Amino acid sequence: MLGEDYFDQRLGDINGLSLIRYVCGRGTLSTDNEVIPVEWELNCAVTGAVVLVLSSHVILDINRMVNANGIFREWTLAGRSLDDSRELRGEGVIVPNIRFTVGQNPELPHYFCHCRLLDLRDAPARIATSITAYISNFKFEADRGDTVRKLLTSCDLCVK
Mean pLDDT, contiguous 10-residue spans, the chain (160 residues): 73 71 92 90 82 86 83 92 91 84 70 88 67 56 50 45
pLDDT score recorded for residue 156:
45
Q: What kind of architecture, by CATH, is found in domain 4-122?
A: Roll (2.30)
pLDDT score recorded for residue 130:
60
pLDDT score recorded for residue 95:
86
pLDDT score recorded for residue 44:
83
pLDDT score recorded for residue 33:
85
Is residue 120 within 8 Å of residue 40, measured between CB atoms? Answer: no
86-128, pLDDT tens digit by residue? 899 999 998 888 877 666 666 778 888 888 998 888 877 665 5
CA-CA distances (angstroms) from residue 134 to 34, 137, 141, 153? 51, 10, 19, 12
Would you list the domain boundaries of the chain? Answer: 4-122
- Bridge-based pairing state of the strands 110-114 and 50-55: antiparallel
CA-CA distances (angstroms) from residue 27 to 5, 21, 116? 22, 19, 18
